[in-house]
Amino acid sequence: MADFTSGFWSIYITILTIVSIIGCGVLLWSQATVKIVVPKDGEAETTGHSWDEGLQELNNPMPRWWMWLFYITIVFGFAYLTLYPGLGTFAGKLGWASKGQYEEELKMADAEFGPLFEKFQKTDIKTLATDPQAHAIGERLFLTYCSQCHGSDARGNKGYPNLTDSDWLHGGDPETIKATILKGRHGQMPAMGAALGTEKDIENVAHYVRSLSGSNADPIKVAFGKEKFAACAACHGADGKGNQAVGAPNLTDKSWLYGGSVATIMETIRGGRNNVMPAFDEFLGEAKVHLLTAYVWSLSNSTTPVPTSK
């Protein structure tokens, strides 16, 4: 990795870029100086290519206007690389950077919408969930930053929780949801294959886990798996109803993060799972997260945005 951050690559890119542009100019100039010799018989010189019963390719130079377009492009290229970054670490005479432009646009947006976000931040989350304007802004924030994982309908996907039901790993109250968005979560299911024993033991526990939610399971394997499940009770509880304090899922419902088949449950037990919900506090700020929290909370609660009277 150190090789790719050394000064050599900046010089290499700079030389390669300049030589390429100059090479294009030299090629154009060489072609512009080629003289086409017209045979005495008046027939135009050809390249020797012939197809479709006598269709020939004539050896004529490119039109002058076309050549000048290429020259103008080369001049533009040098002008651009002088003003803007493109030659290794050279920042350009104007000092433009995409990061700087992004930060400037953020400042403009904050100046325009900051007061509105601050007003909403002072409103209780449950009350905010019924505000049509706040709901619309929260939905746009969700579609921009959350839908990639949870889906545009917020119903999740394999490994990503469904936010429209009442099943929560860490709790579904407004403050917990806000804390999750602000600080993120790191959910880890340790690999339990070695602790349980053989593949048969893992299969028995998988059948027992399925039985907790009333799913089809082999009763004999359930009986053997119940005893082995004691190794899992520290997180999921003796009754399998989970523990929101540590983000351990409730195994007695039919909400499955990765799937509820015997094979999938065995895979989870054998190798564990490792999930990360990124933190958005620094990226979005608390005011936007407050709005986003109201929208997410409304997805699993019966709230209808009520238009405010004029």
Q: What is the pLDDT of residues 220-275, one digit of tens each?
A: 999 999 999 999 999 999 999 999 999 999 999 989 999 999 999 999 999 999 99
**Does residue 240 form part of some domain?**
yes
pLDDT of residue 177 exceeding 80: yes
The answer on 142 and 89 residing in a single domain is no
**Does residue 47 form part of some domain?**
no
Per the CB < 8 A criterion, the answer to whether 89 and 10 are in contact is yes
The answer on 138 and 64 residing in a single domain is no
Our count of domains for the chain comes to 3
Per the CB < 8 A criterion, the answer to whether 255 and 157 are in contact is no
**Does residue 60 form part of some domain?**
yes
The answer on 160 and 229 residing in a single domain is no
Residue range(s) defining the domain that contains residue 215: 188-277
pLDDT of residue 182 exceeding 60: yes
**Does residue 50 form part of some domain?**
no
The answer on 254 and 192 residing in a single domain is yes
pLDDT of residue 2: 47
| Helical (H) or strand (E) element with 196 | helix 193-196
Q: For residue range 113-157, list pLDDT tens digits in order.
A: 888 888 999 999 999 999 999 999 999 999 999 999 999 999 999
The answer on 179 and 118 residing in a single domain is yes
**Does residue 102 form part of some domain?**
no
The answer on 176 and 293 residing in a single domain is yes
Predicted TM-score (pTM) of the model is 0.68
Split at pLDDT 50, 70, 90, the class of 112 is confident
**Does residue 92 form part of some domain?**
yes
| Mean pLDDT of the residues in the chain | 89
Angle between helix axes 132-145 and 286-299 (nearest 10 degrees) is: 100
Give the integer Cα–Cα distance in Å for 13 and 20.
Answer: 10
The answer on 118 and 256 residing in a single domain is no
Residue 258 belongs to a domain with what CATH number?
1.10.760.10
pLDDT of residue 3 exceeding 70: no
